[in-house]
Amino acid sequence: MTHFPLRHDGVSLDAHALAVGLSVLCAVLALILVVRPAVVVLAAGVVAATVPAVAHAYGGSFSDAALPRAVDLALAPDWLATSAAIAAALLALVALVVRVAAPAPGSRWSPWPPAEPHHAAD
């Protein structure tokens, strides 16, 4: 949410819409992750968090592109917005790796058959 634009600063409507759309996408993905942390949503979270971080890092190289201009409209200062985007991308990546590496609950094979209940002798 640090990338939500509060000011227009004379940029085109396309760049402003891109900044708002990216912020809304990240918020929606975060809400979906709270309800159901699926692999597809985690992968989308990695990509959605990486895009602003890369745009901040390489924005000077592509100053005519819409994305670097869109992330310059961020609510927070550049250093905070970039740090938040990098932290979110790394956190989503770690969650994705853990989710893929860990088996789903209830699908684990038991090494022994379930124990028989003991019955009292008649």
Q: What does the domain layout of the chain look like in residue ranges?
A: 13-101
Token readout for 54 is 């890369």
Q: Say what angle helices 78-101 and 39-58 make with each other, to 10 degrees.
A: 150
* The model's pTM: 0.68
pLDDT averaged over 10-residue windows placed end to end, the chain, 122 residues: 70 78 85 85 88 77 67 76 85 88 63 64 57
Contact between residue 77 and residue 6 where contact means Cβ atoms under 8 Å apart: no
